[in-house]
Amino acid sequence: MADFEELLDECDLLPSDIAPAAKAIAYYAASVSGNVWTKDQSGKWRPTAENFVTIKPQWKQAKSLAVTLRGEPAEFEASSSLDIKKDQNGYSAFRLEVASQIADAFVAIKRAHVLFERGRTRTKTSPKTIG
């Protein structure tokens, strides 16, 4: 089993303008779920205890951080700088391509964890912005 430090090493292989943001996202996701992570055959990293987020540093071609989240796109903040798209069966995905997306990525990861805790039978609603 690979360890969390290997995920951080892979983030360092990303372009220097997004590598620190990618590592910050990995640390943030670990703070929500714990830092015991596994890497699957496709190269996606996921927390072993809770399957609400995956992270895949794509340094070879896309030069971005691919993030998969529990929840449908409509369940995430619409004003986000992230282009959150539908992924497989109840999951959504986005790519971190610029460091300025980091705050929205943190919000999306936290929201995915909330959706994970509510379970698959949750009522699917959009988040409410209070301001």
In this model, does residue 98 exceed pLDDT 60? Answer: yes
**Which token pair is 122?**
């949750």
Predicted TM-score (pTM) of the model is 0.86
pLDDT at 129: 54
What's the pLDDT tens digit per position in 50-97?
889 999 999 888 899 999 999 999 999 876 789 999 999 889 999 999
pLDDT at 2: 64
Compute the distance between CA of residue 47 and CA of residue 76 in angstroms, rounded to an integer: 21
- Contact indicator for 53, 113 with CB cutoff of 8 Å: yes
Domains of the chain: 4-118 (3.90.1150)
Host H or E run for residue 45 = strand 45-47
